[in-house]
Amino acid sequence: MTKPLMQSSIKSLKLINQGKVRDIYDIDANHMLLVASDRLSAFDVILPTPIEGKGAVLTEIANFWFEKLKHVVPNHLTGIDPDSVVTDPAEKSQLGSRALVVKKLKPLPIEAIVRGYLAGSGWKEYKASQTVCGINLPAGLQEAAKLPEPLFTPSSKAEVGDHDENITLEKCAQLLGQELADKVARISVQLYREAAEYALTRGIIIADTKFEFGLDDQGNLYLIDEVLTPDSSRFWPADQYQVGKNPPSFDKQYVRDWLESTGWDKTPPGPELPADVAAKTGEKYREAFERLTGKSIS
């Protein structure tokens, strides 16, 4: 493992956006460079402690899924070597397997969340109203219960530092138009079903996940950003799954649980992570990759 990368510095390209994890640089009219840093966000706050190797793990997991699911919907990958778009050795050294050259697309203003199990904010809402994002569910479900069908529950896309908010299907249709909203919902559920079915064969339950989509100039839909990573999904070990309790997970829920125990009020700045919590989080990310792909992280 190399030194953690909290923030990239590619001076030869224009930085056009810095997300919670990814730094995005302009290459030309049709392409962008995505660099996945080792930053970790929780409760929509970027924490001051990087997770060593996390950016490379995220990128390699996403690449695995992009390849596996490309028959469902095209994605933003170009196959262009990131090293070919910079010449400075110091800039190349920041790329490695954490960087991608992707198509420049217009992101949709929603996050496409699919829930297959009752967890997190969905469980809290269900306890209060027997609904998840306003969708009625049967009575008597327990925490971590598998839902009768995967639910498409979109959210708004917040700026860095703000909180994403669940939105209704009606609001989603207002933002996208009914036809596109229906297409995004259908494709999101299909992506989730196929990924969840595969992951189960590798001993992982995908409880829920988030997809992002973009459009090209012709209005064609693409899967963008990251896909089915421990940052965008809730992964549970199948052999420790038990209805009625929140299983341990391979994702950043481990960090969320630690943060909850500190009494932090979830407003910036976030607290420094103890070394053991940061190291354990990195191990969980790597284990998720190795379980899913059957390979060791490069």
* Of residues 147, 153, 137, 58, the one with CA closest to residue 96: 58
The residue out of 47, 79, 104 marking a domain boundary is 104
The residue written with tokens 């810095």 in the block is 18
Q: How far apart are CA 9 and CA 35, in angstroms?
A: 10
Do 133 and 198 lie in one domain? The reply is: yes
Considering the domain architecture, whether residues 155 and 54 belong to the same structural domain is answered as no
Give the range of the structural domain holding residue 64, as residue numbers without chain letter. 14-104
CATH code of the domain in which 67 resides:
3.30.200.20
Buried b (16+ CB within 10 A) or exposed e, 250-277: bbbbbbeebbeeeeeeeeeebeebeeeb
54 and 151 share one domain: no
Q: Is residue 52 part of a domain?
A: yes
Element counts in the chain: helices (H) and strands (E): 7, 15
Same domain, 168 and 182: yes
Whether 123 and 168 share a structural domain: yes
**Judgement on whether residues 73 and 115 belong to the same structural domain of the protein:** no
Q: Where are the alpha helices (DSSP H) in the chain?
A: 54-68, 89-92, 120-129, 169-176, 178-201, 253-262, 275-293
Task: Let me know if residue 293 belongs to a domain.
Answer: no
The residue to which tokens 């284990």 are assigned: 287
Query: Does residue 270 belong to any structural domain of this protein?
Result: no
In a domain, 24, yes or no: yes
Same-domain check for residues 76 and 37: yes
| Same domain, residue pair 45 and 129 | no
What is the dihedral sign for C-alpha 22, 24, 30, 31? negative
133 and 92, same domain (yes or no): no
Whether residues 83 and 208 share a domain: the answer is no
Q: Do 184 and 111 belong together in one domain? A: yes
Question: Dihedrals φ, ψ of 84, to 5°?
Answer: -80, -10
Q: In this structure, what DSSP letter does residue 75 have?
A: B
* Domain CATH number, residue 187: 3.30.470.20
Which pTM does this prediction carry?
A: 0.92
Q: Note whether 160 and 44 are same-domain residues.
A: no
What does the chain come to in residues? 298
Q: How many domains is the chain partitioned into structurally?
A: 2
pLDDT in tens, the chain (298 residues): 468 999 999 999 999 999 889 999 999 999 999 999 999 998 889 999 999 999 999 999 999 999 999 999 999 999 999 999 999 999 999 999 999 999 999 999 999 999 999 998 899 999 999 999 889 999 999 999 999 999 999 998 866 555 678 888 999 999 999 999 999 999 999 999 999 999 999 999 999 999 999 999 999 999 999 999 998 999 999 999 999 998 888 777 788 889 999 999 999 999 999 999 999 999 989 999 999 999 987 6
